[in-house]
Amino acid sequence: MPEADKEGERYSADVPQQSPGFFLKGSHQLDWGMKNRLASTFNPETGRTVMLAVDHGYFQGPTTGLERIDLSILPLLPSCDALFCTRGILRSVVPASSQKPMVLRASGGPSILREELSDEQIAMDMDDAVRLNASGVGIQVFIGGEHETRSVHNMTKLVDAGLRVGIPVMGITAVGKTMVRDAKYFRLACRIIAELGAQYVKTYYVEEGFETVTASCPVPVVMAGGKKLPELEALTMAYNAVQQGAAGVDMGRNIFQSDAPKAMIAAVGAVVHQNMKPNEAFDLYRSLRTNK
Ligand code: R5P
């Protein structure tokens, strides 16, 4: 793989990519419907999103915090920009009267009981995403995984189907349990996903060189939260990610497993949309938590 001699300089992370006529990076030449769906998922004023990820049940079942989505997650809907969920939860639990944009999990297969998770297939027709008025669909891509080629082709098939109907695809970098999670890996994975047509990419934050991951990805990157951290650490991670070029977050456990999810999602929103500093956002979290 070709590597830059002076890595930081070659990525020009401080020079934004031009997107004439539309607020989202790499999206200015898409069709109207696709742009309109992106503009419902990402806030046009800030160019960022707070997407609440609650799709975990598609392979983990009723994980902690998602045992009763009707009770734990529906009260958070007003505080997010979009919800990332499965079509099963959408149809069974989320009121159809909701105006919130819905991004739907479109891949599945192996459960948490299996060692190898990359053996996924497309798990939803694009017709159903249209029927459900989805604002987007999301799919795992296992770069370097045992079933890498299949997962890449799952995504490209979904991208082709999405282009036919104007539904954007979020490609998700799924990292194998034994793989190194560093900027080099995420640059590779995010870039492959974007080159093969995803309209935006979800990936994990890394302490070193995250700005090279966002700079070398020609479409928006949203940060996945990962395992539950203390609230100040999670807010710091979200802050660093958006300051280093992420177009927001698609966070789950760090919100719904918090002691005070409503307070936490409000604090994440302040970090993402107002560039609030982590300590200030943590104060906000604490003050809202005591009022919960
Ligand atoms: C992966 O794509 C998962 O299904 C979640 O959507 C993702 O990991 C984000 O959730 P969390 O912030 O809990 O990692």
Write out pLDDT tens, residues 144-161: 988 889 999 999 999 999
- What are the catalytic residues? 202
Question: What pLDDT score does 291 carry?
Answer: 63
**What DSSP element (H or E) covers 235?**
helix 231-243
Bridge partners of 122, per DSSP, are 107
pLDDT tens for residues 254-286? 999 999 999 999 999 999 999 999 999 999 999
Question: What pLDDT score does 292 carry?
Answer: 56
Mean pLDDT of 218-232: 97
- Residue with the bigger pLDDT between 1 and 81: it is 81
Mean pLDDT of 192-209: 98
> Other C-beta atoms within 10 Å of 185: how many?
19
Tell me the Ramachandran region of residue 21: left when phi exceeds 0, alpha when psi lies from -120 to 50, beta otherwise.
left
Q: Which atom of ligand 1 is nearest to the CA of 202?
A: 2
Question: What pLDDT score does 131 carry?
Answer: 98
Cα separation of 54 and 65, whole Å? 9
Cα separation of 224 and 241, whole Å? 10
CA distance from start to end of the chain? 51
Full-model pTM: 0.94
Q: Which of 241, 238, 273 is nearest to 48 (CA)?
A: 273
Ligand 1 within 6 A of 252 CB?
A: yes
Ligand 1 within 6 A of 56 CB?
A: yes
Q: Which of 120, 76, 8, 24 is nearest to 263 (CA)?
A: 76
Instruction: Using the predicted structure, report yes or no on whether residue 5 has a pLDDT greater than 60.
Output: no
Ligand 1 within 6 A of 171 CB?
A: no
Structure tokens at 276: 């609030």
How does residue 178 score in pLDDT terms, banded at 50, 70 and 90?
confident
280 C-alpha to center of ligand 1: Å?
A: 25
132 neighbors 102 (Cβ within 8 angstroms): yes
- b/e for 83-120, b at 16 or more Cβ within 10 A? bbbbbebbeeebeeeeeebbbbbbbbbeeeeeeebbeb
How does residue 1 score in pLDDT terms, banded at 50, 70 and 90?
low
Cα separation of 71 and 187, whole Å? 38
Ligand 1 within 6 A of 248 CB?
A: no
Cα separation of 286 and 60, whole Å? 30
pLDDT tens for residues 230-255? 999 999 999 999 999 999 999 999 99
pLDDT tens for residues 66-82? 999 999 999 999 999 99
Cα separation of 284 and 214, whole Å? 28
Instruction: Using the predicted structure, report yes or no on whether residue 3 has a pLDDT greater than 60.
Output: no
Question: What pLDDT score does 7 carry?
Answer: 64
Cα separation of 172 and 71, whole Å? 27
Question: What pLDDT score does 2 carry?
Answer: 54
Ligand 1 within 6 A of 143 CB?
A: no
Nearest CA to ligand 1 atom 6: 53
The pick from 73, 139, 253, 272 for probing ligand 1's pocket by mutation, whose C-beta has the most ligand atoms within 8 angstroms, reads 253
Question: What pLDDT score does 210 carry?
Answer: 98
How does residue 52 score in pLDDT terms, banded at 50, 70 and 90?
very high
252 C-alpha to center of ligand 1: Å?
A: 6
198 C-alpha to center of ligand 1: Å?
A: 18
Q: Give the mean pLDDT of the chain.
A: 94
257 neighbors 227 (Cβ within 8 angstroms): no
- Residue with the bigger pLDDT between 214 and 148: it is 214
